[in-house]
Amino acid sequence: MTDPSTVMTDPTTGGRDGFPHLVRAEWTKFRTVRGWVAGMTLAVVLVVALGLLSAAGSHASCGMGGVETACTLTTGPGGEAVSDRFFFVHRRLDGDGSITVRVDSMTGQIRLPDTVPGVRRVVAGVVPWAKAGIMVKDGVREGASYAAVMVTARHGVRMQHDFTEDVAGRSGGVSPGSPRWLRLTRSGGTLTGYESVDGRRWTVVGTARPAHLPAAVEAGMFVASPGDLTVSRGDLGGASVQVRFTEATAVFDQVRVEGRAGGTWSHDDVGVAYEADGRTPHHPGRFTESGGAFAITGVGDVAPSVDGMRIESTLSGLVAGLVAVIVVAVLFVSAEHRRGLFRTTLLAAPRRGRAFAAKAVVVGAVAFAAGLAAALTVPLGARVLRANGNAVLPVSTFTELRVVAGVAALTAAVAVLALACGALVRRGAAAVAAVAGLVVVPHILATASVLPPEVVRWLLRLTPAAGFAVQQSVPEYAQVLGYYSPQGGYYPLPPLAGLAVLCGYAALAAVLAAVRIRKGDA
C-alpha cells in the first residue's frame, strides 16, 4: 500500500488554496493508495457477485397444489402487475351510456386454518376489501382497462379504474336494511361514478379516464373477494404469512342500462384458475337471476398485485458492500490523523474547512461511482431471475433508473457520513463501528423482523438506515391488503424521503467535523 505521506501537495502551485486544486490533490492521494482503491473495488464486487449468485440460485416452482398456474404476471394498462379475478355479469354497451343498480346486501365466507386435519373450517364473513359493484371494461380479458364504482365490506363506496387508481366515496358499507345505489355513466372517454342512498339524490364519487377504453365495451355487475391475510411472528424473529380462501356474494336489483346496449346478459369468471386437468375451474364464481334480481358470487381481486419478486431483491450484497465503503472512507481521513500527516495537508491548504470539504467531495464522488457500478446488478440480476422462470414485478424504466441512481446516492451519502465520523472520532475502528451501528445494524434488525413492527418503523424513520428506502421499487397500495414490511421490501418512508434522512445525517456530521477541524488541533 502506498503511504499517504508520499502524496504531497505543492504549496507553490498556482491557486494552491483554490478548491479545485484541493480536490485534485485529495484525488491523487486516494488513487495512489492501492488499499483504498482495492477497498472500493471490493465493495462493487461484493454487491454484484452476491446479487447475481442469489438470482442464479432462485428458481420458480409453478403449478403448486394441483392447480394449473403460470410463472407469469398479468399486467395492467400501465404495465404494472395486477390481479384481475372476479365474476362478471355483463352486456355490450356501444358508445355513451350508463348502468345503474342497487346493491342490497353483501355476505361471504372465509376459510380458517383446519383445527382437525382434513376437516375444512369455514366461517361466515367478508374481508375488508371484498367488492361488489358495476364496471365498464374493455372486454373480459385479464388486465384490460376498466372503470368501476363499488361498495366494499369495510372501506365504504369506492371508484377505481385501471387497477392503481382509487377514490373514496362518502357512504359506508351495505346491509339488507341499508342498500346502496350505484351509477356509472360514460361520456366519450370520461366515466363518472355516483352513489345514492335512495336512488333519487345522487353524489359524485369520482371521474376517470381509463387509458385504453374502446367505443364498444362490456358493462355490468361484478363481485370479487381477495384472500384473508394473516401474519404470524415466530419467537426468534421472522414472519409467516398466510392468505386463505374467501368468497363474497352480493345481491343486485333495480338494474338499468341506458344507451345502445346489445344482446342479453352474459357471464364470465374472469381470471379463474384451473385444476391440473386444465378444464375444472378452481374455486369458481357463480350467479343466479330471479325476477330481475341477481345474486353474484365471486372470488379474487381487481387491484394491483404485489405478489412476485422485486428488482431490488438483486441487491442482497448491498450491506456487505457498504461495510467496505465505510472502512475505506474512515481510513481516508483517520490514517492522516493517526500518523500526524494532516499537518502536512494544512501546509498546502491552510484553510482547514476547505481541505476537509475536498476530502468529502472526493470520497463522495468515488463512492457514487462505485455504487453506480454495483447497482448495475439490478437490471442484470432481474434478467437472470426471469430466465430462471421467476415472476419479477415489472416497473417503469424511470423507476429502475431511480433505484440504480438511488443506490449510488446512498453509497455516496454513507461514505461522507463515514468520513465525517472518522474526522470526529479520529480512531478508525471506533468510527467504523459507529457508522455501521447507525446504518447497517438498524437495517439488519428491521429486515430480520427481530423487533416489534412499531419499533422497526421508527428505527427506519429516525436513523440513517432510512436511506435504504431508496431501493424500494413497488409502492404500497392502500386498496391492497399485503404484508408491507422491510422484510417484504417496503419501508415506512418514501424512497426519496428516506434518502433525505440519510443525507441530513451525513451533512450534519460533515459540518461538525469541519468545525472541529477548524477549531481543534490537526
Out of 47-61, 150-164, 173-187, give the one with best mean pLDDT.
150-164
Of 279, 304, 329, which marks where a domain is finished?
304
What are the tens digits of pLDDT across the range 392-429? 999 999 999 999 999 999 999 999 999 999 989 888 89
Is pLDDT of 348 > 60?
no
What SS3 string covers 144-161? CCEEEEEEECCCCEEEEE
Instruction: Answer whether residue 273 is part of any domain.
Output: yes
Residues 453, 485: Cα–Cα separation, whole Å: 8
CATH number of the domain at 81, please.
2.60.120
Q: Give Cα separations from 226 to 79, 161, 184, 248, 371 (angstroms).
A: 21, 17, 23, 9, 40
Burial of 118 (0-12, 13-18, 19+ CB in 10 A): exposed
Contact between 199 and 181 under an 8 Å Cβ cutoff? The reply is: yes
Instruction: Answer whether residue 449 is part of any domain.
Output: yes
Give the pLDDT confidence score for residue 503 in this predicted structure.
Answer: 97
Tell me the average pLDDT across 48-61. Answer: 89
Query: Hey, CA dihedral for 327, 332, 333, 337, is it positive or negative?
Result: positive
Residues 274, 279: Cα–Cα separation, whole Å: 6
Terminal Cα-to-Cα distance of the chain (whole angstroms): 24
Contact between 449 and 487 under an 8 Å Cβ cutoff? The reply is: yes
- Beta-sheet pairing, 281-282 with 273-275: antiparallel
pTM of the model: 0.86
Residues 352, 359: Cα–Cα separation, whole Å: 11
Is pLDDT of 513 > 50?
yes
Adjacency order of strands within the sheet including 281-282: 67-68, 273-275, 281-282
Is pLDDT of 176 > 90?
no
Q: Kindly report which listed range (235-244, 284-293, 407-416, 504-513) carries the lowest average pLDDT score.
A: 235-244
Q: Which residue has the higher pLDDT, 445 or 452?
A: 445
Task: Check whether residue 276 and residue 338 sit in a common domain.
Answer: no
Q: Give Cα separations from 136 to 121, 160, 265 (angstroms).
A: 36, 11, 14
Helix (H), strand (E) at residue 332: helix 318-338
Task: Check whether residue 138 and residue 272 sit in a common domain.
Answer: yes
Give the pLDDT confidence score for residue 13 in this predicted structure.
Answer: 41
Instruction: Answer whether residue 238 is part of any domain.
Output: yes
- Beta-sheet pairing, 146-152 with 216-224: unpaired
E runs forming strands in 215-345: 216-224, 228-233, 239-244, 246-270, 273-275, 281-282, 286-290, 293-298, 302-304
Give the pLDDT confidence score for residue 289 in this predicted structure.
Answer: 95
Instruction: Answer whether residue 125 is part of any domain.
Output: yes
Instruction: Answer whether residue 480 is part of any domain.
Output: no
Is pLDDT of 234 > 90?
no
Task: Check whether residue 245 and residue 330 sit in a common domain.
Answer: no
Q: Coil, strand, or helix at residue 263?
A: strand
Task: Check whether residue 268 and residue 401 sit in a common domain.
Answer: no
Cα radius of gyration (the chain): 29
Instruction: Answer whether residue 11 is part of any domain.
Output: no
Residues 320, 504: Cα–Cα separation, whole Å: 23
Task: Check whether residue 277 and residue 426 sit in a common domain.
Answer: no
- Whose grid coordinates read 469541519? 514
Tally of domains within the chain? 2
E runs forming strands in 301-382: 302-304
Task: Check whether residue 42 and residue 80 sit in a common domain.
Answer: no
Instruction: Answer whether residue 7 is part of any domain.
Output: no
Instruction: Answer whether residue 5 is part of any domain.
Output: no
Residues 63, 418: Cα–Cα separation, whole Å: 48
DSSP 8-class letter at 59 = -
Give the pLDDT confidence score for residue 484 in this predicted structure.
Answer: 87
pLDDT band, very low/low/confident/very high, at 64 (cuts 50, 70, 90)? very low
- Beta-sheet pairing, 246-270 with 293-298: antiparallel
Q: Which three cell numbers stand for residue 316?
A: 442482497
Q: Which three cell numbers stand for residue 305?
A: 398485485
Task: Check whether residue 139 and residue 250 sit in a common domain.
Answer: yes
Tell me the average pLDDT across 14-22. Answer: 68
Task: Check whether residue 337 and residue 265 sit in a common domain.
Answer: no
Give the pLDDT confidence score for residue 2 in this predicted structure.
Answer: 46
Task: Check whether residue 92 and residue 160 sit in a common domain.
Answer: yes
What are the tens digits of pLDDT across the range 67-112? 444 467 899 999 999 999 999 999 999 999 999 999 999 999 998 8
Is pLDDT of 440 > 90?
yes
pLDDT band, very low/low/confident/very high, at 253 (cuts 50, 70, 90)? very high
Of 243, 270, 304, which marks where a domain is finished?
304
Task: Check whether residue 372 and residue 426 sit in a common domain.
Answer: yes
Task: Check whether residue 193 and residue 261 sit in a common domain.
Answer: yes
Is pLDDT of 209 > 90?
yes
Task: Check whether residue 451 and residue 410 sit in a common domain.
Answer: yes
- Whose grid coordinates read 353483501? 106
Q: Which residues of 141-173 are buried (b: 16+ CB within 10 A; e: fewer)?
A: eebbbbbbbbbbbebbbbbbbbbbbbbebebeb
Tell me the average pLDDT across 281-300. Answer: 93
Supply the range of the domain harboring residue 373: 17-57+309-473+485-519
DSSP 8-class letter at 113 = P
Of 284, 304, 324, which marks where a domain is finished?
304
pLDDT band, very low/low/confident/very high, at 502 (cuts 50, 70, 90)? very high
Give the pLDDT confidence score for residue 382 in this predicted structure.
Answer: 94
Residues 492, 466: Cα–Cα separation, whole Å: 8
Q: Which residue has the higher pLDDT, 319 or 61?
A: 319
Q: Give Cα separations from 207 to 169, 192, 257 (angstroms).
A: 11, 4, 19
Is pLDDT of 125 > 80?
yes
Q: Give Cα separations from 285 to 86, 147, 275 (angstroms).
A: 8, 21, 15
Give the pLDDT confidence score for residue 515 in this predicted structure.
Answer: 87
